[in-house]
């Protein structure tokens, strides 16, 4: 069995190979199921122990040398293809952007920009925080007790659920409320922020996805009342849906981090099977809100006797569905170009209050 002859044959074939297909043909001939080197390795099983001990190192060295040569040839051809492509392609970065260029702004991104524009006009800043949070920021600081269902693993994605204390247990944040906690602990009042971003919950159907988007608002100041909250939400709904005839209804509700807490309904109507925001012939719940609980203020080092505030939160995906007529939340994340082209927005459709935040 002349391993030198096989080595010379395969290495010569690799030198002559000028395409990836030719290199693959050499690999199959040498190392495939019926390849020459594969047959040599199989023949070791029928040899006497002494003979096997003598020839096995040579067979193994041949297989490793040819394998390395094949990988080197693949890499060399890959570099040659890349260099040729780089030499032939040119992109003039000084050319102006074409308004008709393919691509569009996703409705979620567009609605986030609309929200930022509306609340910036009301004096709110945009705050951000990490998407992987500690148990303390996500639950405990918000007055959510240990036995609360939201802490259960069938509702919450735990990144590090076992062992440790609430400061070391990690979760994918279930709301953007931890951003409120971080802001109250790092900034001195008065505070006016919105916190848009991704959140995660273990749920999936036509109106729920494991990852979705939420925006929350927070105001901390002296003398804040529920009336300030209602005026802020009315102003927001009028600007976002671009409807003057807006009626809000606040229903008592319970949230661990607010006292009192309310569910906010907006007046709406149905016209030929289409939902219209405005009027009060029907009602639809759009968000939750309330006055910040005194225990939350205390957890953030604020004196409830001096500082008061309100908070609210709603799903950005749901706002986009209500405003722009989507019916299935799952389509937001399907990466279907047909859907994106239909519901997407142009790069120059920048929301402004003067021109109307709706594109």
Residue 91 lies in a domain: no
Please count the structural domains in the chain. 2
Over residues 177-231, the pLDDT tens digits come to: 999 999 999 999 999 999 999 999 887 766 677 888 999 999 999 999 999 999 9
pLDDT at site 324: 87
CA distances from 66 to 2, 29, 35, 73 (A): 15, 11, 12, 10
Residue 61 in tokens? 């060295």
| % of the chain at pLDDT higher than 90 | 45
Q: What is the pLDDT of residue 359?
A: 46
- Tell me the chain's radius of gyration from C-alpha atoms: 32
Specify the pLDDT at position 97.
Answer: 66
Q: Is the pLDDT of residue 355 over 70?
A: no
d(CA 323, CA 339): 16
In this prediction, residue 182 carries a pLDDT of 96
Decide if pLDDT at 103 tops 70: yes
pLDDT band at 100, cuts 50/70/90?
A: low
Q: Model pTM greater than 0.85? A: no
Q: Is a pLDDT exceeding 80 seen at residue 132? A: yes
Query: Do 235 and 315 share a domain, yes or no?
Result: yes
Return d(Cα 197, Cα 182) in angstroms, integer. 15
Are residues 116 and 218 located together in one domain of the fold? yes
Q: Given the structure tokens 């925080």, which residue do they identify?
A: 129
The enclosing domain of 151 has a CATH number of 3.30.930.10
Q: What is the DSSP-derived secondary structure letter of residue 207?
A: T
- Contact of 297 with 184, CB cutoff 8 Å: yes
Q: Is residue 354 part of a domain?
A: no
Buried b / exposed e over 260-274, threshold 16 CB at 10 Å, is ebbbbbbbbeeeeee
Distance CA 257, CA 310 (A): 10
In a domain, 288, yes or no: yes
3-state secondary structure of 213: strand
**243 within some domain:** yes
Residue 358 has pLDDT above 60, yes or no: no
Question: Of the candidates 235, 232, 256, which has an alpha carbon nearest to the alpha carbon of residue 244?
Answer: 235
Query: Is residue 348 within 8 Å of residue 104, measured between CB atoms?
Result: no
**Do 335 and 240 touch, CB atoms closer than 8 A?**
no
Arithmetic mean of pLDDT over the chain:
87
Residue 295 tokens, joined? 């225990």
Q: How far is the CA of 143 from the CAs of 107, 198, 258, 260, 300, in angstroms?
A: 34, 22, 9, 14, 11
- Of 286, 359, 341, nearest to 117 by C-alpha is 359
353 domain-assigned: no
Residue 131 belongs to some domain of the structure? yes
* Highest mean pLDDT pick, 30-44, 53-67, 80-94, 115-129: 115-129
Contacts of 255 (CB under 8 A, 6+ apart): 261, 288, 290
pLDDT tens digit string along 268-294? Answer: 888 777 778 887 788 989 999 999 999
Judgement on whether residues 151 and 215 belong to the same structural domain of the protein: yes
233 compared with 355, residue with greater pLDDT: 233
Please state which of the ranges 79-83, 177-181, 293-297, 348-352 shows the lowest mean pLDDT: 348-352
Q: Identify whether residues 333 and 280 lie together within a single domain.
A: yes
pLDDT of residue 322: 86
**Measured CA angle at 119 (ends 115, 123), to 5 deg:** 160
Task: Examine residue 352 and state whether it is found in any structural domain, yes or no.
Answer: no
Closest CA to 201 of 329, 89, 61: 329
Q: Give the containing element (helix H, strand E) for 78.
A: helix 49-88
CB 286 within 8 A of CB 264: yes
Same domain, 198 and 271: yes
Cα–Cα dist 214/174, whole Å: 10
**Claim to verify: residue 57 and residue 113 sit in the same structural domain:** no
Are 118 and 82 within one domain? Answer: no
Instruction: Provide the CB-side half-sphere exposure for 142 (13 A, CA).
Output: 26
Does one domain contain both 166 and 314? yes
Q: Do both 269 and 321 map to the same domain?
A: yes
Say whether both 262 and 327 belong to one domain: yes
Going by pLDDT thresholds of 50, 70 and 90, the confidence category of residue 161 is low
Residue 350 has pLDDT above 60, yes or no: yes
d(CA 105, CA 346): 6
- What's the confidence (pLDDT) of residue 55? 87
- Do 32 and 176 belong to one domain? no
Which of the listed residues 25, 52, 86 is the one where a domain comes to its end? 86
For residue 202, give its domain range: 107-343
Answer yes or no: is 100 within a domain. no
Residue 206: per-residue pLDDT: 62
Average the pLDDT over 317-324 and give the result. 88
- Tell me how many degrees the CA angle 298-302-307 measures, rounded to the nearest 5: 115
pLDDT-based confidence at 353, cuts 50/70/90? confident
Lowest model confidence (mean pLDDT) among 31-45, 147-161, 283-297, 301-315? 147-161
**Same domain, yes or no: 23 and 59:** yes
């Amino acid at each position: 069995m002349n391993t030198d002859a096989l080595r010379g044959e395969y290495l010569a074939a690799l030198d002559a190979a000028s395409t990836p297909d030719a290199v693959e043909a050499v690999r199959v001939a040498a190392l495939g199921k019926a390849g020459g080197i594969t047959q040599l390795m199989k023949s070791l099983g029928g040899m006497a122990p002494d003979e096997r001990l003598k020839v096995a190192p040579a067979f193994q060295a041949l297989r490793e040398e040819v394998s390395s040569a094949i990988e080197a040839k693949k890499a060399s051809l890959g570099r040659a293809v890349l260099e040729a492509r780089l030499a032939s392609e040119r992109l003039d970065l000084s050319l102006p952007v074409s308004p008709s260029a393919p691509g569009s702004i996703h409705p979620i991104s567009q609605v986030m920009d609309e929200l930022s524009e509306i609340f910036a006009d009301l004096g709110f800043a945009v705050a951000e925080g990490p998407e992987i949070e500690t148990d303390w920021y996500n639950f405990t600081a918000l007055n959510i007790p240990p036995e609360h269902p939201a802490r259960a693993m069938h509702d919450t994605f735990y990144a590090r659920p076992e062992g440790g204390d609430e400061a070391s247990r990690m979760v994918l944040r279930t709301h953007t409320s931890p951003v409120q906690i971080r802001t109250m602990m790092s900034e001195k009042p008065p505070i006016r922020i919105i916190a848009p971003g991704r959140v995660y919950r273990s749920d999936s159907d036509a109106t729920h996805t494991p990852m979705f988007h939420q925006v929350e608002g927070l105001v901390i100041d002296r003398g804040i009342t529920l009336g300030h909250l209602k005026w802020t939400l009315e102003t927001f709904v009028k600007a976002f849906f671009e409807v003057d005839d807006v009626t809000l209804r606040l229903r008592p509700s319970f949230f661990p981090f607010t006292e009192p807490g309310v569910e906010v309904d907006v007046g709406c109507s149905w016209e030929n099977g289409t939902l219209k925001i405005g009027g009060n012939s029907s009602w639809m719940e759009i968000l939750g809100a309330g006055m910040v609980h005194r225990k939350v203020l205390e957890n953030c080092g604020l004196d409830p006797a001096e500082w008061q505030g309100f908070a609210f939160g709603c799903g950005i995906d749901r706002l986009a569905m209500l405003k722009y007529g989507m019916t299935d939340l799952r389509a937001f994340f399907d990466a279907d170009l047909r859907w994106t082209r239909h519901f997407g927005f142009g790069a120059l459709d920048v929301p402004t209050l003067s021109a109307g935040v709706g594109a």
